[in-house]
Amino acid sequence: MTGQTNPNTRTSRKSIAGWDRAKHASEVRAWITAYDFAFARLAQSAGIDGILIGDSLGMTVQGERDTLRVSLDQMIYHTEMVARGAPLCLIMADLPFGSFESGPQQAFTSAAALMKAGADIIKLEGGAPMIETVAFLADRAIPICAHIGLTPQHVRQYGGFKRQGTTEAAAAKLIADADALISAGARMLLMEAIPSPLAAEITKRSPIPTIGIGAGPDTDAQILVLHDVLGLDAEYVPAFAKRYLDGARLITDAIGTYAEEIRNRVFPPRR
């Protein structure tokens, strides 16, 4: 039933240690993205375990073609709203492009700002080049979710949003990156757009919770973008996503009916 979760989940989903226990109990958890108070509150009411304020807001909210123009100030603004709307969920915030790549100290300053805005854990993209940064942050009380596979901030380098880890060499590199990031102190590992067997192998060998998006059913948790779940984009749905609602049509119909009632003087009623 919507909104019902394991009682232990409700008391432990705000705790990263609770997510560790869920992994070892083979309890699968659900993430979704959200970018404002209203949708965060609805997600919490529906029983979502964790909410990511993703730099995907550049595409879903701002209408950009990728995530690269999202600023740290924008991430702070949206994190504050989501944290107010879902105080019982684990809140994860993205470090946006340009806010962490120059070194560990820049990453710490940016991550600390997002935690002060309400984030419980910080996500950063990248494999081996981020090992030193992850270790630096972990030593300074910043919980990190490492993001490997398709990392959208590298879209210009990839030449598009392309599936990763599809060759033996590429798969081996992702496994090595995952092992190194975990050893450096990452508390969670997100894998995007990689083959299901590869995600399953990394999850099996990982002592920390894994999160999948387009990575098959065998990760410890799953995440999708809110706008894809609700069908708010009438023109595009990623191949790995699933629409649970034809939101674009329903909302368009509702607004159209509202406009029609105004033009016909049906609304507002006389009192």
CATH number of the domain enclosing 212? 3.20.20.60
User: Domain containing 140: what range?
Assistant: 7-245
Q: Is a pLDDT exceeding 70 seen at residue 42?
A: yes
Is 56 inside any structural domain?
Answer: yes
Q: How does residue 236 score in pLDDT terms, banded at 50, 70 and 90?
A: confident
pLDDT > 70: percent of the chain: 96
- What average pLDDT does this structure show over 43-68? 97
Is 189 inside any structural domain?
Answer: yes
Is 271 inside any structural domain?
Answer: no
Is 228 inside any structural domain?
Answer: yes
Q: In three state form, how does the secondary structure of the chain look?
A: CCCCCCHHHHHHCCCHHHHHHHHHCCCCEEEEECCCHHHHHHHHHCCCCEEEECCCHHHHCCCCCCCCCCCHHHHHHHHHHHHHHCCCCEEEEECCCCCCCCCHHHHHHHHHHHHHCCCCEEEEECCHHHHHHHHHHHCCCCCEEEEEECCHHHHHHHCCCCCCCCCHHHHHHHHHHHHHHHHHCCCEEEEECCCHHHHHHHHHHCCCCEEEECCCCCCCEEEECHHHHCCCCCCCCCCCCCCCCCHHHHHHHHHHHHHHHHHCCCCCCCC
Q: How many domains does the chain have?
A: 1
pLDDT tens across 206-221, in order? 999 999 999 999 999 9
Q: Is a pLDDT exceeding 50 seen at residue 8?
A: no
pLDDT tens across 117-154, in order? 999 999 999 999 999 999 999 999 999 999 999 999 99
Catalytic positions, written as ranges: 192
In this prediction, residue 7 carries a pLDDT of 44
Is 14 inside any structural domain?
Answer: yes
Q: How does residue 240 score in pLDDT terms, banded at 50, 70 and 90?
A: confident
